[in-house]
Structures are given as C-alpha cells and as structure tokens.
Structure 1
Amino acid sequence: MALTREFKDTVKTRADKDPAFRRALIVEAVTSLLEGDVEIGKSILRNYVNATIGFRGLAEGLGGDRDPKSLMRMLSDGGNPRMNNVFEILKFCQQNEGITLEINPHVTSERKRKASSSRQTA
C-alpha cells in the first residue's frame, strides 16, 4: 500500500520533534522482523529513514559506497535485501539515535505448556 504525502509529512514532523517516536520506529521495525513480518519491518524502517536521515544520508553513513536508490529498493515493498544489509542499516539507525537494542528472550505460554506436558508424560 502506497503512503500518501500527508502521512509521510506527518511522520517526518513527529520524528523531528520526538526522539522517543524515532526510537519506537526502530524498535517496532526490529520487532516485526523478529516476528517474521518482513514486509512490515522493512516498511517501518523505510519510514524511519525517510523521516530522519534520508536515503542519501543513510548511504553516506554506511560508508558512501552505496547507491541511495539501491538502499531504497532494498526497503521497498518488493525489495529483498540480504541480511547483512538489513543489519548494517539497523546498526546505523541505532547509532544515529544513540541507542543499542538488546534481545531479551521470553518463553511463550504455548511453549511453557508444551514443556510442562512433556515433563508430565515422561
């Protein structure tokens, strides 16, 4: 689904004023990727880049040897970026915001149920 200019402007305006919003975009992108919703994760990451540094700034931040249009395509609806590219982009976005994301594993209730039932039958 294509985003309207009004929506993009709204996200940019909010990102300009609210550091917590910018950080939340990165967190939500990573969460979506970890949950297997790659298209949503890429979309949110693309929104973050558009609202903050832009793809030219991202290309420069990644060492200047990347074409901004190539980065745009990676995060587009049909884009299929390699994992090393996704992690480079995420690393730069974290550095840009001065944050470090950590993974904290949690056992889901379904997983707990399976583990409990297997112990009872053994």
Structure 2
Amino acid sequence: MLLTQVSNLAFNAQVFAYSSCDPAGGWYNQVEVYRMPEGGPWGSYGDENVYAYNAHIHPQLNSGGTHFTFSYNVNSFDNGTSEQSAHYRDPSIYKPRWVSFAARPNPCPPRC
C-alpha cells in the first residue's frame, strides 16, 4: 500500500491509498482514506496560515493486513515569536496527528 497526498496541488488535504502487488509499482485502486481537517481558512483552526502535510503510513502499527495507521503534521506559515503568533496563541497547531483506518486488501489485477 502507498499512502500519499496529491502532489500537484499545494497543501491538499486529501490522503489517498493505492494498492500494488509489487513495491516497485504498478499502482492501482486509488481510494481517499482521509481528509485532513485543520488547514486553511475553512479548516478547524479557521486560519489561512495553517496547513497539514506529510502523511506517512506506519507499517509497524498495522494489524492483520486490514487495519492501518498513519500520521501527518500540522503547522503554520505564521512563524512569528510574539504572543499573538500562531504557535504561541495555540500550541496544538504544531503537533502530529494519528489516524487509523480499515481497508480490505484487493486482489491484484491480472497481468497484461
């Protein structure tokens, strides 16, 4: 399984999983598994400077080939050091998030 964000859209909140029978590729079956809710003016922080990034699956936390866990990070473009700056106003912005999801393995498609 490959877990990624769409790389042609900056700070896209969608996290996708792809399947493959080979670690080198031949990826198929794109499925959106999560949408990171924190970023942008309509996100849970209501701050256009907040963004989510770096979705990363953790194989050591997966179980039975059907339950998966990944993390992602949240940060702010507001990197000031005053009390009104994002990280001082709300330290919860700068911390990793963890998500677990279930997925059934799909059979590999027939080779061409």
- TM-score band (shorter)? under 0.3
Query: Which structure carries more helix by proportion?
Result: 1
Higher radius of gyration, 1 or 2:
1
TM-score (norm 2): 0.26
Relative contact order, higher structure (CA 8 A, sep 6+): 1
